[in-house]
A and B are shown apart, each in its own frame.
Chain A
Amino acid sequence: MTDILDILISANFWAAALRIATPLIFGVIGALVCERAGVLNLGIEGIFTAGAMAGWMAVWLGAGLWGGVLVAAMAGAFFGLIHAILTVPLGLSQHVSGIGVTLFATSLSYFIYRTALPDVSSPPRIEAFKPLDIPGLSDLPFLGPALFQQTPLTFLALLLVAITAYVLYRTPLGLAIQAVGDNPAAVESQGLSVYAIRIGTVVAGSAIMALGGAFLTMSAFDAFFFGMVNGRGWICIALTVFASWRPGKALIGALLFGAFDAFQVRLQTEVGSFIPGQLFLMMPYLLSIAALIVVARRADYPRALLVPYFRGQR
C-alpha cells in the first residue's frame, strides 16, 4: 500500500503521466473541435500516423524541429481537408469516410517511408526535442521536475487547450462552430456558411491531431516505426466522449489516462513476473471502453453530429 502511495506522490510519476498524456491531449482537442462542428473524424488514427511520419521525415531531411511540427500540421490539414470535402459538401457517411482517411493516411505514410528508406534495418534517428529546462522553475520541489522536464510540445499541447477553450467559448467564431454542430440551419439563416465553418474546423482540428503524432516521433521517440500509433487515435475518440466535448475536461481526461498508464507501467515492474505483460498493455483500451460506458447515459452529443447539412434544406 505504501508502495502505491510512494508512486503517486513522486514527481517522476506525474512527469511520466504528463508525457503519456501529451499526444492524447492533441488528439482529444483535435477530435472535439471537429465534433463540436458536427463532424466525427475517424481519420484520427491515420492522421496521427501521417503527422508522426511527415514531421519525422521533415526533420530528417533537415527542416529543423519546428519545421517538422509545421509539416506534420500541414499533413494533418491535408487529410482533414479530404475528410471535410467528403463529409460536408458531399454529405457522405462520416464513419466510412473517416475509416477511409485512416486507411489512406496510414498506407500513404508507410509507402512514402518505405520508398524513401527501402533497406534500413534499424530506423534512422533524429535529434528530438529536448526537455525544456527553465533555470529556477525546474528546481522547484515537485512541480519543477513534474512540469519542467517536459519538451516544448507538451507546453504547446497545454497552450492549445487554453486557446481552444478561449476560442470555443469566448469568440464569435467559437460560437459559430458550436452552433454549426448543434443547429446548422440556424447558422445559415444568420448569413454564415455552414460549409465554410465545418470545413475550416475539420481542417484545423486535423492539423492539431497530427501534432499528437508528431510528438511521438519528435519527443517521445526519435524515429518512426510501423504501427507506432497503436490505437491512440481511437482512444482519443473515446476520451472525447468522456470529456463531454469540453477542452478543460479533455485535459483532465487525458491526464487521468496518462496517470493510469504510468501507474500500470510501474505496477508491472513490481508484479510483472506473476501477470502476463499483455494484460497491462490491454489496460488503455479497456479503460477507454470503461470510460465510454461510464458516461454513456449522460453523454450530451453535439446535436448535429453525424448529420450532413445540405444548403437550402431543413
Chain B
Amino acid sequence: MIRFEPRGPSSVSRMLGVSIAAALAALLLAAIPMAFAGLSVFEGYSLMVKGAFGSLFAFTEMLTRATPLILTGLAAAVAFRAKLWNIGAEGQLYAGALAAVAVGTGVISAPPYILIPLVVLAGALAGGLVMLGPTLLKTRLGVDEVVTTLLLNFIILLFVQMMLEGPMKDPMGMGWPQSEPILDAAALPKLMDRMRIHWGLVIALVSSLGVYFLLKRTIWGFEIRAVGENAAAARHAGIPVTATFIRVGLLSGALAGLAGVGEVAGLKGYLTADLSPGFGYSGIVVAMLAGLSPAGVVLAALFIASIFVGADSMSRATGVSNYLADLIVAMALLCVLVSGLFLRFKIRFVGSQTNKEAAE
C-alpha cells in the first residue's frame, strides 16, 4: 500500500528538485519516441543541445523563443495561483497582437518613445479585456472558465483571420492574409545586431519581477494567494473574492497579450494567423514546471524554449518530426504533476505490517 502524508510548506530547493526531476523524467521518456523514429538518443539530445546552445545565434534564438513563453507562463501562473483556470492565453496572445497591429501600423504617428508604450499598452489591454469576459461569467453566473477560455481561443483566432482577410489586410501583401507591417517607430528594438532577440525579453523579465513583487509583497498578492488556497474561507475572512478574480483575470490576460505584442512588434513585424505555435498552451506547462512561481517561470520557459529550438534544429538535421518537442513538453507537464505529489505529501510505502493490522 502507498500512503500519502501531508507535508508542510516546501522549501525552494525541494521545489526546484521536483521540477528538475520532472524535466529529466520527460527527457528520459522521450527516448521511447526517439527510438521509434530510429534516432539514437545520444545523437538526438546532442543535436538538440547544439541547436539550442551551440552558438551565439542558437542561444539568442532560444531566448527569443523563451520570450513569449515567459509571458504566457506568467499568465497561467498568476491565474492558477488564484485557481482561476485561464486556459485561454493562446487567444489572449492573438488579441494582444491584433491590438498592437491596430495601433502600430500607421493610425497614429508619433515618435518611438510614445508609440512603443502605446502599442505595448494596447496589447496588454486587449488581452486583459478578452479574459474579463470569462472571469465575469464565472463570478456572476458560475460558468466554468476552463471551457469558455478554451472556446474563446478558437473564436479569437477566427476573428483574427477575418480581420486579416478583411479590414486589416495589407494591400501590399501580394494577396496573403497578413496585416500591414508595424511602423519602425512602433517596433520593439532589437537587443543585438544581426540577431532576432528583441526588447520583448526585457518586458518579459520585468513582468516576472513585477508579478513576483505583487504576489510576495502586496495586499493584492496576499488576496490572490488566499483566494487560491480556499475561496470560501477567504470570503469569510472579508477578502473581496470577486474583485480579486477580476484583477487576476485582467492581469493574466494582459500578460498573455504582452506575449502577442512581443511576437508581432518585436519579432515578426506583421501579424499572420499562424503567429503562435501554441505558446498559450505551452505557457501552462511552463507555469506548472515553475511551481507557479514567477522566478521559476523564467527558468521553465528557458527549458521549454530550448526543447523547441533544439528539436527544430535536430529535425532539420535528421528529418525526425519536430512534434517530438511538443511531445516532450506534454510529458513534462504530466511528470511535474506527479512529482508535485512529493512536495505536498510524504509518500510512505507501507509494508505487510499494516496489512496484518487491517486483517485483524
Task: A310 to B5: give the CA distance in the assembly, Å.
Answer: 11
* Minimum C-beta distance from A273 to chain B (A): 13
Whether A110 contacts B147 in the complex (CB less than 8 A), given A92-B337, A99-B87, A115-B36, comes out as no
Which of the residues A231, A279, A299 comes within 8 Å of B151, measured between beta carbons? A231
Task: A82 to B37: give the CA distance in the assembly, Å.
Answer: 23
Closest-by-CB residue of B relative to A235 is: B151
Residues of B within 8 A of A86 (CB): 334, 337-338
Is A103 part of the binding interface, using a Cβ–Cβ cutoff of 8 Å? Answer: yes
Is A234 part of the binding interface, using a Cβ–Cβ cutoff of 8 Å? Answer: yes
Residues of B within 8 A of A112 (CB): 36
Whether A114 contacts B341 in the complex (CB less than 8 A), given A104-B327, A297-B141, comes out as no
A296 touches B162 (CB 8 A): no
Residues of A within 8 A of B37 (CB): 111, 115
Closest-by-CB residue of B relative to A101 is: B334
Most chain B CB inside 10 Å of its own CB: which residue of A101, A238, A278, A282? A278
Which of the residues B144, B153, B158 comes within 8 Å of A278, measured between beta carbons? B158
Whether A278 contacts B159 in the complex (CB less than 8 A), given A96-B333, A103-B333, A293-B137, comes out as yes
Chain A window 118-146, contacts with chain B (Cβ cutoff 8 Å), 1 for yes, 0 for no: 10000000000000000000000000000
Residues of A within 8 A of B142 (CB): 296-297, 299
A97 touches B334 (CB 8 A): yes
A42 touches B146 (CB 8 A): yes
Which of the residues B158, B285, B321, B337 comes within 8 Å of A93, measured between beta carbons? B337
* Minimum C-beta distance from A309 to chain B (A): 13
Number of chain A residues whose Cβ lies closer than 8 Å to a Cβ of chain B: 45
Closest-by-CB residue of A relative to B337 is: A92
A104 touches B137 (CB 8 A): no
A118 touches B285 (CB 8 A): no
B150 touches A231 (CB 8 A): yes
Task: A310 to B146: give the CA distance in the assembly, Å.
Answer: 25
B143 touches A115 (CB 8 A): no
Is A286 part of the binding interface, using a Cβ–Cβ cutoff of 8 Å? Answer: yes
Residues of B within 8 A of A160 (CB): none
Closest-by-CB residue of B relative to A236 is: B147
Most chain A CB inside 10 Å of its own CB: which residue of B155, B159, B288? B155
Which of the residues B148, B151, B323, B334 comes within 8 Å of A82, measured between beta carbons? B334
Which of the residues B162, B327, B334 comes within 8 Å of A279, measured between beta carbons? B162
Task: A100 to B329: give the CA distance in the assembly, Å.
Answer: 9
Which of the residues A93, A103, A108, A285 comes within 8 Å of B155, measured between beta carbons? A285
Which of the residues B33, B85, B151, B165 comes within 8 Å of A108, measured between beta carbons? B33
Whether A97 contacts B337 in the complex (CB less than 8 A), given A103-B326, A293-B143, comes out as yes
A276 touches B36 (CB 8 A): no
A residues 60-91 in Cβ contact with B at 8 Å = 82, 86, 90
Most chain B CB inside 10 Å of its own CB: which residue of A103, A112, A235, A238? A103
B340 touches A92 (CB 8 A): yes
Residues of A within 8 A of B150 (CB): 231, 234
A residues 261-305 in Cβ contact with B at 8 Å = 276, 278-279, 281-282, 285-286, 288-289, 292-293, 296-297, 299
Is A230 part of the binding interface, using a Cβ–Cβ cutoff of 8 Å? Answer: yes
Is B154 part of the binding interface, using a Cβ–Cβ cutoff of 8 Å? Answer: yes
Chain B window 270-301, contacts with chain A (Cβ cutoff 8 Å), 1 for yes, 0 for no: 00000000000100110010000000000000
Which of the residues A108, A111, A278 comes within 8 Å of B162, measured between beta carbons? A278
Task: A96 to B339: give the CA distance in the assembly, Å.
Answer: 14
Which of the residues A95, A234, A278 comes within 8 Å of B85, measured between beta carbons? A95
Is B126 part of the binding interface, using a Cβ–Cβ cutoff of 8 Å? Answer: no
Is B319 part of the binding interface, using a Cβ–Cβ cutoff of 8 Å? Answer: yes
Residues of B within 8 A of A254 (CB): none
- Given contact pairs A96-B284, A292-B137, A293-B141, enumerate 9 new A-B contacts (beta carbons under 8 Å): A96-B333, A100-B330, A100-B333, A111-B323, A115-B37, A234-B150, A278-B161, A285-B155, A296-B142
User: Which 3 A/B pairs are nearest by Cβ-Cβ distance?
Assistant: A114-B321, A103-B330, A107-B326
Point out residues on B near A: beta carbons under 8 Å.
4, 33, 36-37, 85, 87, 137, 141-144, 146-148, 150-155, 158-159, 161-162, 165-166, 281, 284-285, 288, 319-321, 323-324, 326-327, 329-331, 333-334, 337-338, 340-341
Some 8 contacts from A to B, beta carbons below 8 A apart, are A99-B333, A103-B326, A104-B331, A111-B326, A115-B33, A238-B151, A279-B162, A289-B148
Point out residues on A near B: beta carbons under 8 Å.
42, 82, 86, 90, 92-93, 95-97, 99-101, 103-104, 106-108, 110-112, 114-115, 118, 230-231, 234-235, 237-238, 241, 276, 278-279, 281-282, 285-286, 288-289, 292-293, 296-297, 299, 310
